[in-house]
Structure 1
Amino acid sequence: MHNVKRVPHSQEAIQARKERERSQIVEYLALTNNVLSRKKTRDWSRDAFDQTQQLLELNPEFYTIWNYRRNIILNGIFPQSTPEENNDLLANELSMTMAALREHPKVYWIWNHRRWCLENVPDGPVVDGKPSLQWRKANWQRELAVVEKMLDADARNFLAWNYRRYVLASMPEQRPVMTELAYTTRKISASFSNFSAWHQRSKVYSSLWNTGELDPIQSREEEFDLVHNALFTDPDDQSAWIYHRWLIGSGENEEQLRQEIAIIEELLGEQPDSKWCMDSLVYYCRLLLKNHGPDSEDIKQKCYDLLQQLERIDVPRKLRYQEIGQGM
């Protein structure tokens, strides 16, 4: 706290803390050796299962133990249990991973275990000889709500975004793609620097264009308005610039390419030291020269001038800019 004098710890207190840490390390190593020994002997017992949880609570990134835990479930618990009991066990596993994710939201192995649990949950009650579609829909809707809570807590968690794509692809009835587009709009509007949301947006647009639900030319033009807003708000953030390059693509549309070059030049006039403005202008001018053949010395000279400025303001990448200039 501010304005509170720090009291130095006594030698006794420091020594006691070190002893506690040593004791914790010894206990952790003993538990690790015990669990790995059980794994080696293919111990599929409940006791081994409980010990994997103790170890994973201490070290959730121990992927070998996650694998062992799944093997215990498949080889030791499932064969000896009823479908209802197995369903309860997997529900407990989902609760366990949810608690773990609150503490460690960016540990891949926790997300991976949750995915495995969902893929092994029974299909639920049988209606007219078939698994209940309504039950499956509710199950996946609940999972989508879980991942949305995680993204509300950290909208840039790329593992949560990857998991969201998995959930959306697994739902028995696909959500309208436009619904997901609206979701990314909300996330991006909250923070233009949310690279994962921009990436998700590119996936959504690709799907809409591939299925013919949106006209790629018109929707691209409308999308540039959102990106321009992001670029002018924070020209130093790379997320929107990367998305902008994805929208431009290979630069086949000359009119569009020239229009974006003009807009970026306008932004550079307001932000004369913007590295991303200069870098993008060089990139797009080179696309213009390559695809549309105006053998313009003025455009080449503009690129050379920008590259020289980039060498001065972005020294770690000086050789890269020199190499680009030599290749023109």
Structure 2
Amino acid sequence: MQHGVKRVSLSEEAKRSKLEKDQIKIKKYRDLTSEIFELRDKKTYNDEALLKTNEILLINPEFYTMWNYRREILNTYKPDLTVYEDILNQDLNFVLAQLKRFPKCYWIWNHRRWLLFELVSIGKVNWKYEFGIVSKLLELDQRNYHGWHYRRFVVSNMELECKDDLPKILKINLDEFNYTTQKIQKDFSNFSAWHNRAKLIPKIHDLIHKNQGLPSSSETDLFQNTKSILDNDLEMIKTGIYMSPEDTSVWYYLQWLLSDPFFKNGFESKEDYLEVLNQQLQVIDEVNEMEKEDTGKDNVGCLKNIVFIKSLIQQENNQDKLTDEIKEALKILTEIDPLRKNKYLQQLAGKVEIC
């Protein structure tokens, strides 16, 4: 069994048949590759050559040399801008079909960016349409890192189109913030959504505070100070901690909330910061006790973050040496998380910082 699928043993005859079919496919692929390289060497830039790159890229979208040749061919249509616009949009459709089949192929995303910038150069790009496309792609695979990275790329270009219209730029980013909330509430393990949220929070905060003339709303009220943002997201993340204490996405985001200068510098006093740290310790301790009742042992994620928060408290109190509580937790981690045993031993020896 592998990934829940039962292995099927092939007979010798079936193996020979499969090998023969594979050999035919390999020969066809090699012949096609040789033919296209010959066309490129001869600087052949026409419809026939473009169709040949279609064939090879449908088989192997990772063949970046073919994408390069394809762009060389497309550029030859540039003198007639009407034709060029049409062929670029046709290629966007070709790329979209490829992305549905291979949503994590870097070269396909890269080629789509190139097509859009070519449309920018002739003043024919439609970023709102592209935004709709990437939104649909993320519906198919909501945790696809490439899709989220591309979404930020599209949003940044939508902002450029707004020029100095700050209310519009703020609206775009608030909508993106709300989008991350929806995605996270649907799946707390969506690391890309947490990551995007971490990028948006300081950006929206700065937009509001550097431009006091922007209209106030229930959405902008959250960003009036960093403490209100922190409280909001700590409350939201609490659900993720209780539901999925083994999920690293939730823990990474919690660590960012508790340690990033953006939030730390927003506290009026050290005591206020320590109070928040101790509140989070209580939450995690409670979850860890629940896990111990169910499994008979500490939860790795809980224990690692107990160590993390206690080390933050140590730093605030200007303590250099590890406390006995931290040492004991690290010793337990060497037993329940053996894959990272050496890391914990190094932390115990003071050779690696905990936070």
Name the CA distance, whole Å, in 2 between partners of 1:59 and 1:186.
35
TM-score normalised to structure 1 length:
0.87
- Who is 2:269 aligned against? none
Name the CA distance, whole Å, in 2 between partners of 1:48 and 1:100.
19
How far is 1:176 from its partner?
Answer: 2.9
How far is 1:36 from its partner?
Answer: 2.2
Alignment of 1:240 onto 2:263? no
Alignment of 1:155 onto 2:142? yes
Name the CA distance, whole Å, in 1 between partners of 2:228 and 2:13.
72
Name the CA distance, whole Å, in 1 between partners of 2:35 and 2:174.
51
State whether residues 261 and 284 of structure 1, in contact with CA within 8 Å, keep that contact through their aligned partners in structure 2. Answer: yes
Name the aligned partner's letter for residue 200 of structure 1: N
User: Cα 1:188–1:250, aligned 2, differ >3 Å: closer, same or farther?
Assistant: closer
State whether residues 87 and 122 of structure 1, in contact with CA within 8 Å, keep that contact through their aligned partners in structure 2. Answer: no
Q: Aligned runs of 1:281-300 on 2, under 5 Å?
A: 281-293=306-318, 300=323
User: Cα 1:7–1:43, aligned 2, differ >3 Å: closer, same or farther?
Assistant: closer
Name the CA distance, whole Å, in 1 between partners of 2:318 and 2:286.
24
State whether residues 49 and 72 of structure 1, in contact with CA within 8 Å, keep that contact through their aligned partners in structure 2. Answer: yes
- Who is 2:189 aligned against? 193
Q: For this pair of structures, how many residues does the alignment match?
A: 307
Name the aligned partner's letter for residue 183 of structure 2: K
State whether residues 77 and 83 of structure 2, in contact with CA within 8 Å, keep that contact through their aligned partners in structure 1. Answer: no
Q: Aligned runs of 1:73-112 on 2, under 5 Å?
A: 73-74=74-75, 76-79=76-79, 82-112=80-110
- Who is 2:166 aligned against? none
Alignment of 1:36 onto 2:37? yes
Structure 2 unaligned residues grouped into runs of 5+? 1-6, 163-168, 210-219, 265-272, 293-297
Name the aligned partner's letter for residue 248 of structure 1: L
- Who is 2:299 aligned against? 274
SS of the residue corresponding to residue 89 of structure 1 reads helix
Name the CA distance, whole Å, in 1 between partners of 2:200 and 2:8.
56
State whether residues 254 and 292 of structure 1, in contact with CA within 8 Å, keep that contact through their aligned partners in structure 2. Answer: no
Name the CA distance, whole Å, in 2 between partners of 1:326 and 1:10.
57
TM-score normalised to structure 2 length:
0.80
Kindly report the root-mean-square deviation, in angstroms, between the aligned alpha carbons of the 2 structures: 2.4
SS of the residue corresponding to residue 193 of structure 1 reads coil
Name the CA distance, whole Å, in 2 between partners of 1:196 and 1:244.
14
- Describe the superposition over 1:86-126 as per-residue Cα deviations: whole angstroms up to 9, x where unpaired: 111011000000111111111111111111111111577xx
State whether residues 275 and 314 of structure 1, in contact with CA within 8 Å, keep that contact through their aligned partners in structure 2. Answer: yes
SS of the residue corresponding to residue 77 of structure 2 reads helix
How far is 1:242 from its partner?
Answer: 0.4
State whether residues 46 and 77 of structure 1, in contact with CA within 8 Å, keep that contact through their aligned partners in structure 2. Answer: no
Name the CA distance, whole Å, in 2 between partners of 1:45 and 1:192.
49
Name the aligned partner's letter for residue 195 of structure 1: F
How far is 1:232 from its partner?
Answer: 0.7
Name the CA distance, whole Å, in 2 between partners of 1:119 and 1:186.
30
User: Cα 1:7–1:106, aligned 2, differ >3 Å: closer, same or farther?
Assistant: closer
Name the CA distance, whole Å, in 1 between partners of 2:175 and 2:197.
11
User: Cα 1:61–1:8, aligned 2, differ >3 Å: closer, same or farther?
Assistant: closer
- Who is 2:278 aligned against? 258
User: Cα 1:7–1:143, aligned 2, differ >3 Å: closer, same or farther?
Assistant: closer
User: Cα 1:12–1:233, aligned 2, differ >3 Å: closer, same or farther?
Assistant: closer
Structure 1 unaligned residues grouped into runs of 5+? 1-5, 125-130
State whether residues 264 and 281 of structure 1, in contact with CA within 8 Å, keep that contact through their aligned partners in structure 2. Answer: yes
